[in-house]
Amino acid sequence: MAERKRLTAWDWTVAAYEALAEGGAAAVAVEPLAARLGTTKGSFYWHFPGRDALLEAALLHWERTETEEVIALVEAQPDVRARLRAVLAIALGEHEDRPTGAAVELALQPTAGHPLVAPVLARVTERRLTYLTALFGELGFPPEDARHRSLLAYTSYLGHAQLTHATPAAAPSGDALRRYVDAAIGTLTSA
């Protein structure tokens, strides 16, 4: 008999993150995840006290990888315009080698009021808007204008994510997406 791989809390977290992308918070269910991982519920309870702890771990993983790690990656760019372009390009999926968390974000929207989902969505949204506002501020826009432009950039991302999800053929891709990102940055940074 083949020996089963010993699962870790990380294995469960990654599986829950994938489930979030596929079906939102409701898709993070212990029995289906155990089946997906080829194990029993006992493995789950070895690592987590309950479903809410797993959902929270998956949400924190999304927050870290799709906000904090993206910001760290973008900060490596040489100047503010390059950082602004990079953050929008990553968010819109221009870098196909780096999957986006837009699927998770869209899947979470119907449960935005869930007691575990709501604070993470609020924290992620505010962190992203604050970061974008700082970038526009570095370009010389006054605080109120910088915040307004950050809202325009963020809602462009959300709209693009929805368009890509609902009608992928209508969303720009490849070279058209690169031109779209450049046009969006041009519009957002014009006086």
3-state secondary structure of 133: helix
Torsion angle of alpha carbons 88, 93, 95, 101, nearest 10°? 100
**If we measure between CA atoms, which residue out of 128, 180, 119, 123 comes closest to residue 150?**
128
- Separation between Cα atoms, residue 90 and residue 113, nearest integer Å: 27
Residue-wise pLDDT tens digits, 90-99: 988 876 655 5
Residue-wise pLDDT tens digits, 146-175: 999 999 999 999 999 899 888 989 999 889
In the chain, which stretches have pLDDT less than 50? 1-3
pLDDT computed for residue 4 by the predictor: 61
pLDDT computed for residue 61 by the predictor: 96
pLDDT computed for residue 165 by the predictor: 85
pLDDT computed for residue 29 by the predictor: 96
pLDDT computed for residue 100 by the predictor: 56
Domains in the chain, ordered, with CATH?
60-189 (1.10.357)
